[in-house]
Amino acid sequence: MENSSHGTIYGINGPVIKVRGNHAFQMYEMVLVGHDRLIGEVIRVFETETIVQVYENTTGLKPGEPVISTGKPLTVKLGPGIIGNVFDGIERPLERIAEKTGIFIKRGSIMDNLDRNKLWHVRMLARPGDYVNQGEFIAEVKETESVIHKIMVPPGIKGEVIEAVGDGEYNIDQTIVKVRDGKTIHNLSLVQEWPVREPRPYYHRLPLNIPLITGQRIIDTLFPMAKGGAAAIPGGFGTGKTLTQHQLAKWANADIIVYVGCGERGNEITEVLEDFPKLVDPRTGRPLMERTVLIGNTSNMPVAAREASIYTGITLAEYYRDMGYDVAIMADSTSRWAEALREISGRLEEMPAEEGFPAYLPSRLSEFYERAGRVENFNKTEGSVSIIGAVSPQGGDFSEPVTQNTKRFVRCFWALDKALAYTRHYPAINWTNSYSEYSQELSEWYSVNAHPEFMDKKAKISRILQEEEKLLDIVKLIGSDILPDEQKLVLETARAIRQGFLQQNAYHEQDTYVPIKKQYLMMDSILRFYEKAVKLVSIGVPVSVIRKSGAFEELIRIKYNIPNDDFSAFEDLNGRLEKILEEIEAEYKK
Amino acid sequence: MNVEYMGLKEISGPLVVIDGVKDASYEEMVEITVGRNKRLGRIIEIYGEMCVVQVFEGTRGISLENTRSRLLGKPLKMPLSMELLGRVLDGIGRPVDGLGEIFPEKSRDINGEPLNPVMREYPRNFIQTGISSIDGLITLIRGQKLPVFSGSGLPHNQLAVQIVRQAKITDAGNENFAVVFAAMGVKHDVAEYFRQSFQKSGVLDRVVMFRNLANDPVVERIVTPRCALTVAEYLAYDKGMHVLVILTDMTAYAEALREISSSKGEIPSRKGYPGYLYSDLASIYERAGMVKGCKGSITQIPILTMPNDDITHPIPDLTGYITEGQIVLDKNFALKGIYPPINVLPSLSRLMKDGIGEGYTREDHPHVANQLFASYAKVQEVRALASVIGEEELSPVDKLYMNFGREFENRFIAQDFRENRSIEDTLDLGWELLRLLPKEELDRLSPDIIDKYYTVPESKKGDF
């Protein structure tokens, strides 16, 4: 049988190699290619030839070198040691690669995914005699100060615990529990393996009625995202996709963040690595890095691993979901992943569909986004995976295939706008092109947890913005002087909303994250003022008088002037603004 | 092993196919002898005993029968030595200045290896270029990759020369600084212009020049930037130097890539460029940066001409997705006689946020930059309105914007080719312009910054 698990290289074209001499390879099986044992994956099987994509640079490979079968699909190791780490696209730890090969990543550096020497303090939950099912917790490990890592029975295994170690220090390879299922005995350790392309199982899905609070006003208020939902951030270059992703990774109220840098800049990974350990999670008071795992397959790293990085990321996310955590995965950017598909497809000489992308692009995208969800796990806990995918449309044109197909599978669409970015209006989320289909399902949560009138106020704010949009078309033609005063007031108020509410400064200590309560109060102040001003205008007060009072400027500066932890200032502000309007009214009546 | 293969199986554009090859390895170099002349090629695809080879000097004069090929047993390597400084090389790194051979200290695979992101150092050091629009609004940071998006007929070459001449990178001491210049598919006089400019500013002996001119073989162009960056990496990471790499013209490079891709019969994606254009460009641009434990740095200024001035064309588009910002030149500015014709609105420096402000440039820098952008963006709206209803009909505030716009273009953006402004001058000029607008319009500034800088100190009032 020895021979049947070997093949030899016959052809080489970039990351794609053709293998002959063995037709027992399975589809999507992981193989080791050449004398350097580069990691590859079977992507096509013919009668005479097998096609393998290689996750590393293929320079120097020769026909005739061996290709060894491993008999299992591309898998990741799941266990303590994942959080706080930086991996490449196939879960190899970049820090340890750096210790071994210096500043450059040399190929063929096979190594353990997780540290095998580290001893973890394990608290046992399973006792001999217990009957355990798949997903059940058998032990606990404090992975970081913020994360308790639950050791679970791997999917597909059940039975009676016949042996269990006591609490103590163990490494990831040691057997901590033996489970007997009929005649088979399973040795369970702190790690399990899972094929990346296969979704991990759960008990059943739950409705998406809890928002993922991000502290970003335009998102939380106008286009909210649900825990377990899927969102896309499309935008041309320089519109702030990565900045928005970083903001979400920093402030979203998820327990675990998986950040996948897929085919993007190396310095962006570096930036996260420098920033996150310094930033403090407002909920736990611990560094953000203690709940974050990074997967960095930058644009200059091998293209096939870029394709895998998305799956590696989502598998890690699902694993933590199974423990009952809310996990958010940021994929920056899914376009690079789609392009990796296209590149491999091109080398296979497949018949292309739109713009050279393979015809299976939509099905791959839908498979990926469908792995988001809020679920009840087998162990009765509830967890969620929320996907936020950046899309980099070519030429900023949203009609290209990746954006269009993504739109079909996500229900939250935060469209970034070049024109807004040019005026340095960040986040450059365009409020007319964006949408969230979750609003309806989340409205109850907002009424109960934020304020009963939250959704009402939000609708009013949207209406003013919509009206502005219409009026601006007129202004572009004839100038704003001709407009009647009620409409001028709409324009002024909309300006205050845009600059004071929608615009948010990621580099300002207070403004970078705004609690939902303050978001409500800000809307409230703006609308109160607007409604009173409407009354004044209706009795003939010119808008220019209100404008000169400086009230709009005060509304715009709420975000800086009122701190996040002291809302009493809102009352003062509302009183002050009211007084200004009253004075104007009195003056006018005289 | 000195096996020679006689003849070829197929010739197509710059590619030849050799049959019956034993023991070839992927990306191995091949020496092809045609009569008396020897050419170099590289294996880009292997299928059994057939190898597809791209021939660097082109396939002119090659027939199926008149060649002998020999495998060289190694991928294309760039010989490296400190002696390279001051030399002129061809597109694949062979000296063409008649100053003799270079004796290499070592040689390295030109493809390099990907930098491990955990070993990168996040770039934060400001480079003063003395050009207000760049220093003030599109700040260049050491270790950044900041391309110039230009068009035909625009002075991108002058701009690059001015940056090299004025960049305070030179102040780090002449010992520590080098320029690697790679010309791909440019005209001879352009390459000569750069050489003379380097000579005039007295830096020629710190420059390594790669020249693949417009009539040199197209295939060579594919390896030129890689050779250049291999030298840059050697100077930066082995020798601790601050290296400024200028790559011009990336459009010619991408076109060469397309030409080869189409002779290989690959499936094209947008505008005929291969689907891997993004990955390929990234493998060049991502070789900029700084790494932990090394003094040196690689700052890249690639120049590309946007075909038909279209910023959504695949080359500028994909470049913009990889690089850390862009400097966009605009024909309309050039027509108005503004040098440098930088359109600041679509321009961007992604790294500036961490390299400016207190401790780097001056505390008000981010605020001024933000406000200038916002106000100048507003000028565009007002201008659009003025073109419909006439400037006379504008409101008084809008008229102030019109004036601000003119002053901003003529005084802030425009400056002489020889003028070298300090960052303080640039920022003060920014404030001077912002004072043309009423305080209420400056919505990006916090009250304390306005108090500190907007209000003109009594003592200085006479100056304005």
pLDDT given for residue A67 in this prediction: 93
pLDDT given for residue A514 in this prediction: 94
| Cβ neighbours around A572 below 10 Å, total | 10
Distances in Å between the alpha carbon of A15 and those of A53, B202, B278, B281, B288?
6, 45, 15, 17, 24
Residues A216 and A238 both lie in one domain: yes
* CB-CB under 8 Å, B123 with A267: yes
Q: Write the CATH number for A54.
A: 2.40.30.20
d(CA B306, CA B187): 17
Which residue in chain B is spatially nearest to A296 when comparing CA positions?
B117
- The fraction of chain B above a pLDDT of 70, given in percent, is 96
If pLDDT is split at 50, 70 and 90, which confidence band does A202 have?
Answer: very high
Cβ-based burial of A420 (10 A; exposed 0-12, middle 13-18, buried ≥19): buried
In sequence order, what are the residues at sequence separation of 6 or more whose Cβ sits closer than 8 angstroms to the Cβ of residue B180?
Answer: B207, B208, B210, B228, B229, B231, B232, B235, B243, B244, B245, B246
Q: Is A87 inside a domain boundary?
A: no
Report the candidate in A117, A107, A110 with the shortest Cα–Cα distance to residue A93: A110
Cis before A4 (ω within 30): no
HSE (side-chain half, CA atoms, 13 Å) at B338: 20
In sequence order, what are the residues at sequence separation of 6 or more whose Cβ sits closer than 8 angstroms to the Cβ of residue A255?
Answer: A147, A291, A320, A325, A326, A327
* CB-CB under 8 Å, A507 with B353: yes
Amino acid letter at A504?
Answer: Q
pLDDT digits (tens, 9 = 90+) for A86-136: 999 999 999 998 988 888 888 776 678 899 999 999 999 999 999 999 999
Q: Which domains does chain B have, with CATH numbers?
A: 4-74 (2.40.30.20), 78-354 (3.40.50.12240), 365-463 (no CATH)
Residues A361 and A246 both lie in one domain: yes
Q: What integer best gives the mean pLDDT of chain B?
A: 90
In sequence order, what are the residues at sequence separation of 6 or more whose Cβ sits closer than 8 angstroms to the Cβ of residue A226?
Answer: A208, A209, A210, A211, A212, A374, A386, A412, A438, A441, A442
Q: What's the 3-state SS for A248-314?
A: HHHHCCCCEEEEEEECCCHHHHHHHHHHCCCCECCCCCCEHHHHEEEEEECCCCCHHHHHHHHHHHH
Say if strands A412-413 and A382-391 run parallel, antiparallel, or are unpaired. unpaired
Helix (H, G, I), strand (E, B) or coil at A324: coil
* CB-CB under 8 Å, A238 with B326: yes
In the predicted structure, residue B458 carries a pLDDT above the cut 70: no
Residue ending a domain, choose from A387, A412, A438: A438
Distances in Å between the alpha carbon of B144 and those of A455, A550, B119, B315, B351?
45, 42, 16, 19, 7
In the predicted structure, residue A501 carries a pLDDT above the cut 60: yes
CB A189 within 8 A of CB A204: no
* CB-CB under 8 Å, A423 with B378: yes
Residues A250 and A318 both lie in one domain: yes
* Nearest CB neighbour to A479, from listed B120, B385, B443: B385
User: Which residues sit opposite B382 in a β-bridge?
Assistant: none
What's the mean pLDDT in B77-99? 92
d(CA A374, CA B98): 70
Q: DSSP character for B153?
A: T
Q: Is A179 inside a domain boundary?
A: yes
d(CA A555, CA A546): 13
If pLDDT is split at 50, 70 and 90, which confidence band does B463 have?
Answer: very low
If pLDDT is split at 50, 70 and 90, which confidence band does B456 have?
Answer: low
Residues A212 and A177 both lie in one domain: no
Establish if A395 touches chain B: CB-CB under 8 angstroms: yes
Using a CB-CB cut-off of 8 Å, the residues of chain B touching A237 are 317, 320-321
Amino acid letter at B219?
Answer: V
Residue B162 is inside which H or E element, if any?
helix B156-166
pLDDT digits (tens, 9 = 90+) for A277-315: 888 887 788 999 999 999 999 988 888 889 899 999 999
Q: Write the CATH number for A159.
A: 2.40.50.100
Q: Is A30 inside a domain boundary?
A: yes
Token pair 């309007």 in the structure block, residue: A581
pLDDT given for residue B457 in this prediction: 57
pLDDT given for residue A477 in this prediction: 82
In the predicted structure, residue A171 carries a pLDDT above the cut 90: yes
d(CA A310, CA A338): 10
Residues A12 and A48 both lie in one domain: yes
Q: Is A98 inside a domain boundary?
A: no
pLDDT given for residue B454 in this prediction: 87
If pLDDT is split at 50, 70 and 90, which confidence band does B173 have?
Answer: low
Residues A379 and A267 both lie in one domain: yes
Q: Is A94 inside a domain boundary?
A: no
Residues A365 and A267 both lie in one domain: yes
pLDDT given for residue A17 in this prediction: 93
Residue with the bigger pLDDT between A233 and B395: it is A233
In this prediction the pTM is 0.91
Using a CB-CB cut-off of 8 Å, the residues of chain B touching A238 are 320, 325-326, 346, 348, 350
Residues A252 and A158 both lie in one domain: no
- The fraction of chain B above a pLDDT of 90, given in percent, is 64
CB A431 within 8 A of CB A417: no
Amino acid letter at A380?
Answer: K
pLDDT given for residue B461 in this prediction: 46
A529-A534-A535 Cα angle (round to 5):
105
B positions 33-62 inside 8 Å of A (CB): 44-49
Residues A170 and A312 both lie in one domain: no
Establish if A553 touches chain B: CB-CB under 8 angstroms: yes
CB B182 within 8 A of CB B225: yes
Burial code (b: 16+ CB inside 10 Å, e: under 16) for A193-229 equals ebbbeebbebeeebebbbbbbbbbbbbbbbbbbbbbb
Q: Write the CATH number for A421.
A: 3.40.50.300
Domain limits for position A550 = 454-589
Structure tokens that stand for B157 in this block: 């070459």
* Nearest CB neighbour to B389, from listed A95, A98, A478: A478
Cβ-based burial of A127 (10 A; exposed 0-12, middle 13-18, buried ≥19): exposed
In the predicted structure, residue B208 carries a pLDDT above the cut 90: yes
Structure tokens that stand for A573 in this block: 């502000």
Q: Is A513 inside a domain boundary?
A: yes
Which residue in chain B is spatially nearest to A306 when comparing CA positions?
B279
If pLDDT is split at 50, 70 and 90, which confidence band does B170 have?
Answer: very low
If pLDDT is split at 50, 70 and 90, which confidence band does B343 have?
Answer: very high
Q: DSSP E strands: which ranges in A476-540?
A: none
- The fraction of chain A above a pLDDT of 90, given in percent, is 68
pLDDT given for residue A423 in this prediction: 82
- Report the C-alpha dihedral over residues A484, A487, A488, A494, rounded to 10 degrees: 180
d(CA A576, CA A532): 13
CB A491 within 8 A of CB A482: no
Using a CB-CB cut-off of 8 Å, the residues of chain B touching A293 are none
What total number of domains does chain A contain? 4
Amino acid letter at B65?
Answer: E
CB B290 within 8 A of CB B280: no
pLDDT given for residue B172 in this prediction: 52
Report the candidate in B298, B285, B183 with the shortest Cα–Cα distance to residue B234: B298
In the predicted structure, residue B206 carries a pLDDT above the cut 50: yes
| Cβ neighbours around B256 below 10 Å, total | 22
Which residue in chain B is spatially nearest to A20 when comparing CA positions?
B48
Structure tokens that stand for B438 in this block: 């009423």
What's the mean pLDDT in B31-52? 91
Residues A395 and A286 both lie in one domain: yes
CB A50 within 8 A of CB A23: yes
Residues A430 and A475 both lie in one domain: no
Q: What integer best gives the mean pLDDT of chain A?
A: 91
Sheet holding A148-152, edge to edge: A148-152, A137-142, A120-124, A168-170
What's the mean pLDDT in B241-260? 93
pLDDT given for residue B270 in this prediction: 82
In the predicted structure, residue B459 carries a pLDDT above the cut 80: no
pLDDT digits (tens, 9 = 90+) for A534-582: 999 999 999 988 988 889 989 998 998 899 988 889 999 999 999 999 9
d(CA B408, CA B423): 16
Residue ending a domain, choose from A73, A103, A125: A73
- Report the C-alpha dihedral over residues A44, A49, A53, A54, rounded to 10 degrees: 150
Q: Is A213 inside a domain boundary?
A: yes
What's the mean pLDDT in A28-36? 90
pLDDT digits (tens, 9 = 90+) for A321-362: 999 999 999 998 899 999 899 888 888 888 888 888 999 999
HSE (side-chain half, CA atoms, 13 Å) at A476: 9
Distances in Å between the alpha carbon of B104 and those of A244, B42, B111?
47, 22, 18
HSE (side-chain half, CA atoms, 13 Å) at B392: 0
Residue A477 is inside which H or E element, if any?
helix A454-478
A positions 165-184 inside 8 Å of B (CB): none
Residue ending a domain, choose from A190, A213, A239: A190
pLDDT given for residue B174 in this prediction: 54
- Report the C-alpha dihedral over residues B123, B124, B128, B133, rounded to 10 degrees: 90
Helix (H, G, I), strand (E, B) or coil at A223: coil
Establish if A102 touches chain B: CB-CB under 8 angstroms: yes
Token pair 């597909």 in the structure block, residue: A156
CB A312 within 8 A of CB A369: no
* CB-CB under 8 Å, A557 with B46: no
Residue with the bigger pLDDT between B300 and A557: it is B300
Report the candidate in A450, A571, A427, A453 with the shortest Cα–Cα distance to residue A516: A450
Which residue in chain A is spatially nearest to B275 when comparing CA positions?
A343
Amino acid letter at A110?
Answer: I
Q: Is A104 inside a domain boundary?
A: no
Distances in Å between the alpha carbon of A333 and those of A229, A263, A306, A366, A369?
18, 7, 10, 16, 14
What's the mean pLDDT in A444-464? 95
DSSP codes of every residue in A79-123: STT-TT-EE-TTS-BHHHHHHHHTTB--TT----SS-SS--EEEE
User: Which residues sit opposite B40 in a β-bridge?
Assistant: B31
d(CA B331, CA A480): 31
Residues A215 and A336 both lie in one domain: yes
* CB-CB under 8 Å, A61 with B26: yes
